[in-house]
Chains A and B, each alone.
Chain A
Amino acid sequence: MKNNTCYSLKNLIETGRRLAKEKSVVSFDLFDTLLVRRIHDPDLVKLPVARYIATLAKKQGIKRSAVEVQELRDRFENEMRAEIGRTHADHEACYPIFMERLLVEIFGGLGADLLADVTVYEMAMENRMLVPREELVGWLRELSAAGKRIFIVSDMYLPADHLEKLTDHAGLSEYAEAIISSADSFAAKASGEGWKLMAERFDIQPEDWLHVGDNPFSDGLRAKEAGITPLLIHDPQEDLRKSLLRRYWNYSDGKPFWRGRLLQQVMAPLEGENIPREPLYREGYNFIGPLIGIFLQQIREICRKEKLSKIFFFSREGWTFERYWKQAMPLIYPGEELPEIEYLYVSRMALAGASCAHGGLKKESADIAFLPPGNRDFTDLCRIFSLEAEAFTEIFARFGLEVTTCLSHIHEGYRQEDRRAFERILDDEEFQMEVKAQTADANAALQKYLEDVGFFSHKRVAVVDVGWLGSIQRFLVDAVSHRDDAPVCRGLLFGATRGISFPTTGKNNISGVIYDQNRFDFAASALFYARDIFEEACRAPYPTLNGYRLSDNEKGYELIFRRTDDALGMEENVQDSYFAPLQQGIYDSAVRFGQAVRLLGWGYRDFKPWLNYLLVSRLAFPKTEEIMLLRNRSHLDDFHGGKKPKAEFFKNAGRELWDQSERKLRWSPLLRLRRYLFHLRSRLNQ
């Protein structure tokens, strides 16, 4: 009788339905039949387990590298197989036995729950790498509903109770009468002994039995010899998928460029997970999600190196970073102590005023406030720093100015002498006293909030933000620098553009992780093309924070959020709804990112070449559809005023690639190349 070999799942199930009509028992092989792995080589799952054991050993002061652990494991497993082979037909091994031997060898004994701890971790790693084959599982449910006896059988070093954890996770256990593993009896399908044992144990007549598997020898020939009807699957799609993975893995060894690509391939959804998704979701999953993951992983490494025990995620972008961190980092660093994390409700608007209470309004702060083109005069500064303009009228008059005198060079009516006069006002004691008096309450409320969240409980903290000038950190440090218990703030930005010089001191500094202007990184400078995308993609779905206020409530302060019922607020709500699928894609990618990174054992330096390619490809040479999809409809920020600058200012405005019309994006010849050359020139000149 020839083997029934099918070359697609559809064909397998059709054939199987026909054959199963005459049978009362159907058994399935588990791995590469009911379940497939995200990676090409099942042994790769052992590597993170070896790293985990090495981490546990390090905690107890035992120095063993992951490579040594893996070599020991392989040796003990092979020795067990050889020993079993002397008394049994099959050379089988049993996981708890050789793992116990390994752990005793490394730790000198089995501490409380050590084997259980390692086993739980290995099963979790296996579960993360295994995906049920949707169509086959559907057929299995059908067979179970039709009253067939279902068994799941595997030649594996994991005993049946361990395999049950995998089948439980995949939702298969409820349909199977029993899970059988060669590790329990050392009788495998490969020698045929496993079939005999199963038939005796479960009282199955071979002529009544259909077995579905992938191995032509164990599942095919040996089953046939035992009188069982075999049905084999040899899926060329699976062969192709594994071939791609194997090539990426092999190429990554000599060419680091491929490591990021392999990461994304391992992250990719399979089988039932891979359902059609909206375009924004795909952008979040395949582009922005991995970028954020790599960014946060590098933050973890910086915190480890610089012994930073707490991370504060800033502003609305920090909300997304915090959520991503919570899902991905525990997967990448199991058994290790991660820094505490906290989300801080801060924003430029909220902190600007509070930052002036002790040091007054600084020139650099004023310069930052005049950066947005819509800000023209002192009334705009008052809006940003929560000041009452009328109280300054007399002071301005002494210097020959009004509060509405133009102080921005891109607006009509600007005179350089007016700006110099304003800078003299900033040195005026009466002016600064008024500024401090008006912002004292906001600062006091901020202090209460920061005390409440434990900001002053750590000596050194990391503060994480999307970028770009580090203004939030600047304002925050200004607001708390008068305190002896103010922590050292290590600013870690997604991108540091450094448009305005940052006041770096021993207690306050910033660096860009993905991009930093202080180190020449041309590929990462592609961020300049569309910084707003990252802000919009990462923005939290709550209104922007406008300030802090003292209150009679229990806490003594309250956070003032921007209203949502005005035109701007409602536009924001619409924008939030629009980008919701993008954010969902980002969050869904977090777990897969963590799993993939843990498996591969790589970090920022390994992924940087691919990341550089992604940034240039997606930001400098995007498709028109991608720009239309991701381009923010309205970047809403009360920091920006509404006054119109001079017409000649607009000459250069709107020339950016991501600001072009759809018609130009599609039809303007060599548009992307021209903008790229312009970008290249500006980066080199900088």
Chain B
Amino acid sequence: MKEKIQKKNFDLAGNSHARLTRMILFAKVMPIGNIAGGPGIRCLAVLSVLYYCGWPLYAFNARYGHRLGRIKSLLSRLKNRGRV
């Protein structure tokens, strides 16, 4: 069946993020070789959100993002809390 190389959510056909996540979870219990420390669970989680929920989030942000200034400012303060 014909399919695009880059899917609609910008994931790659055949090398999907889901496949990567499964393999990395497998690598937690079984050696798969040198992957230079791996991708990092946090990075995987963030990318999962982007790939599978990204469009509605960005669509909302495009339309109403300018009204969310206060919330964004609060999130930014929370993120930077503890940093010098």
Decide if A and B are genuine partners. yes
Nearest chain A residue, comparing its CB with the CB of B54: A240
Q: Does A278 contact B (CB under 8 A)?
A: yes
**Residues 39-67 of chain B: 1 if any A CB is under 8 Å from the residue's CB, otherwise 0?**
11001001100110011001101110000
| Residues from 1 to 48 in A contacting B, C-beta threshold 8 Å | 7
8 nearest A-B residue pairs (beta carbon): A523-B33, A276-B2, A609-B36, A236-B58, A268-B6, A522-B33, A236-B62, A236-B59
Q: Does B82 contact A (CB under 8 A)?
A: no
Q: Does B32 contact A (CB under 8 A)?
A: yes
Q: Does B78 contact A (CB under 8 A)?
A: no
Q: Does A392 contact B (CB under 8 A)?
A: no
Nearest chain A residue, comparing its CB with the CB of B63: A7
A522-B31, A680-B31 are known contacts. Are A278 and B2 too (CB-CB below 8 A)? Answer: yes
Interface of A is mostly: helix
A88 shortest CB reach to chain B, Å: 30
Size class of the contact patch on chain A: 35 or more
Are A616 and B33 closer than 8 Å at their CB atoms?
Answer: yes
**Residues 1-31 of chain B: 1 if any A CB is under 8 Å from the residue's CB, otherwise 0?**
1111110011011110001100100100011
Are B3 and A277 closer than 8 Å at their CB atoms?
Answer: yes
A60-68, A249-257, A336-344: which one contacts chain B? A249-257
Partner of B35, one of A236, A265, A276, A523: A523
A-B CB contacts (within 8 Å), total count:
138
Are B5 and A282 closer than 8 Å at their CB atoms?
Answer: yes
Contacts of B4 in A (CB 8 A): 269, 274-277
A239-B62, A240-B58, A265-B12 are known contacts. Are A617 and B23 too (CB-CB below 8 A)? Answer: yes
A239-B58, A240-B10, A240-B55 are known contacts. Are A522 and B47 too (CB-CB below 8 A)? Answer: no
Are B61 and A236 closer than 8 Å at their CB atoms?
Answer: yes
Contacts of A285 in B (CB 8 A): 5
Are A257 and B33 closer than 8 Å at their CB atoms?
Answer: no
Q: Does A244 contact B (CB under 8 A)?
A: yes
Q: Does B38 contact A (CB under 8 A)?
A: yes
Partner of B5, one of A235, A243, A274: A274
Q: Does B73 contact A (CB under 8 A)?
A: no
A670 shortest CB reach to chain B, Å: 12
Q: How many residues of B contact A (CB 8 A)?
A: 39
What would 21 A/B residue contacts be, using CB atoms closer than 8 Å?
Answer: A7-B59, A7-B63, A236-B61, A240-B9, A240-B50, A240-B54, A243-B50, A243-B58, A244-B54, A255-B39, A257-B38, A257-B39, A276-B4, A277-B5, A279-B1, A286-B13, A522-B34, A608-B36, A612-B34, A613-B32, A617-B20
| Residues from 241 to 277 in A contacting B, C-beta threshold 8 Å | 241, 243-244, 247, 251, 255-258, 261, 264-265, 268-270, 274-277
Are A243 and B54 closer than 8 Å at their CB atoms?
Answer: yes
Partner of B39, one of A234, A258, A283, A523: A258
Q: Does B69 contact A (CB under 8 A)?
A: no
Binding site for B on A (CB under 8 A): 7, 234-237, 239-241, 243-244, 247, 251, 255-258, 261, 264-265, 268-270, 274-279, 282-283, 285-287, 521-526, 608-610, 612-614, 616-618, 621, 626, 676, 680
Nearest chain A residue, comparing its CB with the CB of B40: A255
Contacts of A523 in B (CB 8 A): 32-35
Nearest chain A residue, comparing its CB with the CB of B23: A617
**Complex formed: what's the CA distance from A7 to B66 in Å?**
14
**Complex formed: what's the CA distance from A247 to B31 in Å?**
27
**Complex formed: what's the CA distance from A612 to B27 in Å?**
12
Contacts of A268 in B (CB 8 A): 5-6, 10, 12
Are A521 and B39 closer than 8 Å at their CB atoms?
Answer: no
**Complex formed: what's the CA distance from A82 to B62 in Å?**
33
Are A279 and B19 closer than 8 Å at their CB atoms?
Answer: no
Contacts of B15 in A (CB 8 A): 261, 264, 286-287, 614, 617
Nearest chain A residue, comparing its CB with the CB of B3: A276
Among A274, A522, A524, A613, chain B packs the most CB atoms within 10 A around the CB of A613
Partner of A247, one of B30, B33, B50, B55: B50
Are B14 and A287 closer than 8 Å at their CB atoms?
Answer: yes
Are B14 and A283 closer than 8 Å at their CB atoms?
Answer: yes
B31 shortest CB reach to chain A, Å: 7
Are B2 and A7 closer than 8 Å at their CB atoms?
Answer: no
